[in-house]
Amino acid sequence: MIGPDDIPVLPRGVRIHWDKVRATWVLLAPERTVTLDAAAHAVLSEIDGARSFGAITEALAERYDAPAAQIAADSAGLLGALRDRRFLEVVS
C-alpha cells in the first residue's frame, strides 16, 4: 500500500493522453490502454515524480474541498492496481 511519504512516478512509456475520438482521458502504457474517470485523471495528473503521495492528496483535498484522508483512501487502490501492472513506480 502506498504511504504518504512515497513518491509515485509514471515510468517511461506510460503517459496520460486525451482520446479525442472517445472524448475521454486514457493512460497509455506498453500495449495497454486504461480509460480514466475524472477522479483517476485528477490524481494521475498531479504526479510529477517529485511530490509525495501525501502532498498530492493534500493538494487535491484543497482543490475539491474534500477530506484528504478520503482522497488518499480512494486513490491508493487505483495507484496500487497500476503499480501491480507496472504502470506506476514508487520511490520511497
Binding site residues, other proteins, CB under 8 A: 11-15, 17, 19, 21-22, 26, 28, 30-33, 83-86
Strand ranges across the sheet with 15-19: 15-19, 24-29, 32-36
A 10 A CB-CB count for 45 gives: 13
Least distance (Å) between residue 50 CB and other proteins: 19
Q: Which is nearer to other proteins, 37 or 62 (CB)?
A: 37
Instruction: Using alpha carbons, list the distances in angstroms from residue 23 to 43, 77, 84.
Output: 19, 25, 27
Q: Which residue lies nearer to other proteins by CB, 72 or 88? A: 88
Q: How far is the CB of 18 from other proteins (least distance, A)?
A: 9
